[in-house]
Amino acid sequence: MFRSKNEGNIVYKCTVRLLEDSEVLECEFQPNHKGCFLLEYVCEQLDIAEKDYFGLRYVDSTKQRFSLKLIKFNSILCSQHWLDLAKSIIKQMKDVDPILFSFRVKFYPADPFRLAGNGRLMLYQQLKRDLRHGRLYCSTGEAAALGALIVQEELGDFDPEIHTGEYVSSLRLALRQTDALEKKVIELHKKREPGQEPSVAMDEFMGIARGLETYGVDPHPVKDHRGTQLYLGINYSGISTFVSGKRAQHFRWPEVHKLNYEGKMFIAHLSYTDASREPKKHTIGFKCPTGAACRYVWRCAIEQMLFFTFIMDCRFVVLIYV
């Protein structure tokens, strides 16, 4: 924090990590600035027009970490939060020093190609990151196809004089990057049609990624009514449950009538039409690790539902928070 000669004029400094870990932005804000100010500033610096799809994450002051026995998604989850765009930045960052944010995609579009320019580039970088960290969970074959496209985008056409040996081992492609996966990536890279622009590989990568069940999913650990440990995933299409990396249930947004929480229980009220075209109602609940975690899951679900079922932008984000 830095103060000018006028004690009433306080300027705070923070660091924003971008999607490439080595890239950061140093930013300043004042006590009256809300989260929307900082996000708009970052998007302006990155020349991103579609700012509503992005957000800023931070680790809370407790810096809690907890591990799960499940192995399909990344097994270590941080106590991370999205910066509330409608509230004061500094009030949300109490006892946090230094102030550090991570710029991330928050709302993954159903159609990645609705983003243009640097907005699409940031989505591509986010999806590469998701693959590396295990969030974009997929089969070995799908991981190899995605990995080959990353290699094509970063290294260009296969050249037998340059690309020798295990040349992809220096690239971080996937969470579980085995020798077998790297060999498959090399095999697919060799088969790529030469002369393609990097943007072609990027677009093909995003086309495959958006078809995966884990596209845009930020996994939340929960238990069902039987006490079975599973993950809850929320994205543009609705709410899904995942067991051992496979989607077990999917509740589309048109079927979700109401979302609420009670203590540690996250509750979804569903209205749908069955095979006999009879209207049905159903309530399903999931137990979260803590009450705070439950409220966070509820908040994430409300945000995703409103974003993808209503036309909104940064100015109207206040409607989400109750």
Q: Report yes or no on 172 lying in a domain.
A: yes
Claim to verify: residue 11 and residue 65 sit in the same structural domain: yes
pLDDT tens-digit series, residues 145-186: 999 999 999 999 999 999 999 999 999 999 999 999 999 999
- Residue found under tokens 């243009």: 116
Mean pLDDT confidence for 70-79 = 47
Say which CATH number the domain at 28 has.
Answer: 3.10.20.90
Q: Report yes or no on 132 lying in a domain.
A: no
Strand partners, 223: 229, 287
**What's the rounded Cα separation, in Å, for the pair 47 and 25?**
13
In degrees, to the nearest 5, what angle opens at C-alpha 297 toward C-alphas 134 and 44? 70
Q: Report yes or no on 112 lying in a domain.
A: no
Closest CA to 1 of 96, 103, 101, 102: 96
With 0.75 as the threshold, say if the pTM is over it.
Answer: yes
Q: Which of 209, 232, 252 is the last residue of a domain?
A: 209
Claim to verify: residue 231 and residue 190 sit in the same structural domain: no
Say which CATH number the domain at 169 has.
Answer: 1.20.80.10
Claim to verify: residue 193 and residue 224 sit in the same structural domain: no
Q: Would you give the distance in Å from CA 263 to the centre of its chain?
A: 26
Positive or negative torsion for Cα 237, 247, 171, 24: positive
Say which CATH number the domain at 271 has.
Answer: 2.30.29.30
Q: Report yes or no on 126 lying in a domain.
A: no
Claim to verify: residue 9 and residue 75 sit in the same structural domain: yes
Q: Which of 209, 236, 265 is the last residue of a domain?
A: 209
Q: Which of 182, 209, 236 is the last residue of a domain?
A: 209
Claim to verify: residue 19 and residue 88 sit in the same structural domain: yes
Q: Report yes or no on 40 lying in a domain.
A: yes
Claim to verify: residue 66 and residue 153 sit in the same structural domain: no
Q: Domain of 272?
A: 220-320
Q: Report yes or no on 115 lying in a domain.
A: no
Q: How confident is the model at residue 230 (pLDDT cuts 50, 70, 90)?
A: very high
Q: Report yes or no on 124 lying in a domain.
A: no
| Lowest mean pLDDT across 71-75, 90-94, 118-122, 241-245 | 71-75
Strand partners, 260: 267
Name the token pair of 185. 């990536």
pLDDT tens-digit series, residues 263-308: 999 999 999 776 677 788 999 999 999 999 999 999 999 999 999 9
Burial state string for 278-287 with b = 16 or more CB within 10 A and e = fewer than 16:
eeeeeeebbe
Claim to verify: residue 224 and residue 199 sit in the same structural domain: no
User: Structurally, how many domains does the chain consist of?
Assistant: 3
Claim to verify: residue 200 and residue 226 sit in the same structural domain: no
Closest CA to 90 of 19, 6, 27: 27
**What's the rounded Cα separation, in Å, for the pair 105 and 128?**
12
Q: Report yes or no on 123 lying in a domain.
A: no
Positive or negative torsion for Cα 82, 218, 101, 74: positive
